[in-house]
Amino acid sequence: MGDFVFSNLTRIFAWFAFLLLLCVLFSLCVASAPSIHAFGFHFLVSDSWDPINGHFGALSAICGTLMTSVIAMLLGVPLSLGIAVFIAEISQGKISKIVRTLIDLMAGIPSIIYGMWGLLVLAPFLADHVQPFVSDAAQGIPYLEDLFGGPSLGIGIFTAGLILAIMIIPYISSTLIDMFRSVPPVLKEAAYGIGATRFEVVRKVVVPYVRKGMIGSIMLGLGRALGETMAVTFVIGNSKQLTASLFMPGTTISASIANEFNEATGLLYPASLLELGVILFVLSFLILAFARLLLLRINRKKAGAH
């Protein structure tokens, strides 16, 4: 009798996570129904955001989200790869332990602190010391001119991407370190034995061995970058204008919601923001699910090898 009660009690709570997922999706869809009805598919491809006249489109927010995430990946993945290789392959003993602790510290800092630091320290630094030079250097070169033009504001899409890159470094590198350490030492010894350099060992032995897991952890970082809210809200500038320049203010899905939801009045305005939320949820769920599947497969392989 006790067993029956207890096992079913735990079963109910275990299903909680699953149930919650369905509830969230369902309730957000219901709540955003007015906007789904009003705009339909057009919502995804329209860039008008006009609360006064009641026209809403998600394009600028989606573009901003994708652009900041792509910048975050382009900057963050090589950096975390470098850090992971340093900790797992280059440094030894104490140094490796200290660096690992520092990277773990980075993961612990709340995102609002990154946002504040970005707004009050990083953005002025970029505006004074980096952006003017980059803009000047890109002057006259087609495409690059558009990409890096505009006034040096400090805040903008590039700054948001940079902050995101910094924030995902600890997550990606710590999973990478664990994976690098799971490579059987014999394989590496064999490669070193035939005279391979460290670069060759990493490129030809370690990376191929953990490739699937690497993609998984990078996707996990991407999932975080897509959904990250506070740090981005601080530095993105929240402008619904679509621009080609990375140094201009833009917006992301999560920043739009964070900035505007409390002020949204009427029926369509909050519903549109909720629909943005649905898009973000579905997008990040797909990416996170894919990442977890890849990582799960790696773990199974590891467990099978024992």
Partner 1 sequence: MKRMQVTRKISNNIFSMLCISSVLFGITILSSIFYALIIHGFPALNLHFFISDTPAPDSPAGGLRNAIVGSFIITTAAVLVATPIGILAATFLSEYARGKKIASIIRFVNDVWLSAPSIIVGLFVYTVVVHPMGNYSAFAGAISLAMIACPIITRSAEDMLNLVPNELREAAIALGLPKWRVIIHIAWRASKQGILTGVLLAVARISGETAPLLFTSLNNQFWSTNLSQPIANLPVTIYQFAMSPYRNWQDLAWGGALLITVVVLFLNVLTRYFAKSGGKRS
- Report 7-46 residues binding partner 1 (CB under 8 A): 7, 9-11, 13-18, 20-21, 23-24, 27-28, 30-31
- DSSP letters spanning 88-128: III--HHHHHHHHHHHHHHHHS-HHHHHHHIIIIIHHHIII
11 vs 211, which CB is nearer to partner 1?
11
Of 104, 128, 136, 189, the residue at the interface with partner 1 (CB under 8 A) is: 104
Calpha distance 69→186 (Å, rounded): 37
CB of 98 to partner 1, least distance (A): 10
- Which residues 266-305 are close enough to bind partner 1 by CB under 8 A? 274, 277, 280-281, 284-285, 288-289, 292-293, 296
144 vs 215, which CB is nearer to partner 1?
215
- Which residues 43-72 are close enough to bind partner 1 by CB under 8 A? none
79 vs 130, which CB is nearer to partner 1?
79
Place of tokens 């060992």: 201
50 vs 200, which CB is nearer to partner 1?
200
Calpha distance 91→47 (Å, rounded): 49
What number of chain residues touch partner 1 (CB under 8 A)? 84
Calpha distance 163→117 (Å, rounded): 9
238 vs 245, which CB is nearer to partner 1?
238
- Which residues 122-181 are close enough to bind partner 1 by CB under 8 A? 166, 169
The phi-psi region of residue 67 (left if phi > 0; otherwise alpha if psi is between -120 and 50; otherwise beta) is alpha
Contact call for residues 213 and 175 (beta carbons, < 8 A): yes
234 vs 245, which CB is nearer to partner 1?
234
Buried residues in 246-259 as b, exposed as e (16+ CB within 10 A): bbbbbbbbbbbbbb
Contact call for residues 28 and 281 (beta carbons, < 8 A): yes
CB of 296 to partner 1, least distance (A): 7
- Which residues 192-231 are close enough to bind partner 1 by CB under 8 A? 197-200, 202, 220, 223-224, 226-230
